Amino acid sequence: MSSRIDYNNIAPVGVQALGAVYGYVIQSELPITLIELVFLRVSQINNCAYCLDMHTRDLMKKGVPIEKLALVQAWQEGGELFNDKERAALAWAETVTLVADTGVPDESFQAVSEVFSERELVDLTIAIGLMNAYNRMAISFRSIPLAVANKHKSKE
């Protein structure tokens, strides 16, 4: 796989605008590990190798155990590995990311609203939308995951 376009160089102002949204999300009251877990789950749904690689690495640096990372895709079966907020955020991330299929039903909204304040829920939804945008950029323009780039460099 080779990269199609280096969108960071072609549209730096647009990428900076996405970065500003990322900055907003990071400074929100949502725990950074929760945000990163949501980013990872959204990237799994969208099959974005670049973002899967990046967010897995970020979560490992934050000390999230490999057992938990391995079960993000099957979080419903992860038992005590995921707390109530993480389970609610991951469920919300799934229904919002798959909006064309789910329509984000009232039951999903009610369930997440029991765990998050209105402000937290809006911030969480902004984070989900942002990751969907990043996934679409990385997939469309074939951003190379660090693991692949490092493997390629080691062969040279």
Mean pLDDT over residues 32-55, rounded?
Answer: 97
Q: What's 18's domain CATH number?
A: 1.20.1290.10
Radius of gyration of the chain (CA): 16
Tens of pLDDT, residue by residue over 17-27, are 999 999 999 99
Residue 53 placed within a domain: yes
Contact 46, 139 (CB under 8 A): yes
- What b-and-e string marks burial along 121-140, b requiring 16 or more CB atoms within 10 Å of the CB? bebbbbbbbbbbebbebbbe
Mean pLDDT (whole number) for 93-107:
98
In a domain, 89, yes or no: yes
Helix 106-113 × helix 118-140 angle, to 10°: 120
pLDDT of 153: 59
Query: Using CA atoms, how far apart are residues 116 and 30, in angstroms rounded to an integer?
Result: 10
Dump pLDDT digits (tens) for 27-43. Answer: 999 999 999 999 999 99
CA-based nearest residue to 86, from 32, 126, 23: 32
Rounded to whole angstroms, the Cα distance separating 122 from 78 reads 26
Query: Does 2 map to a domain?
Result: no
- CA 68/CA 136 separation, integer angstroms: 26
1 within domain boundaries: no
**What integer is the mean pLDDT of 58-86?**
97
Domain count, the chain: 1
Query: Which pLDDT value is given to residue 87?
Result: 98
Judge if pTM exceeds 0.75. Answer: yes
The residue among 155 and 81 whose pLDDT is bigger is 81
Angle subtended by helix axes 49-61 and 32-46, to nearest 10: 160
Q: What is the pLDDT of residue 3?
A: 78
**Average pLDDT score over residue span 111-126:** 98
Domain holding 51, by residue range, is 7-155
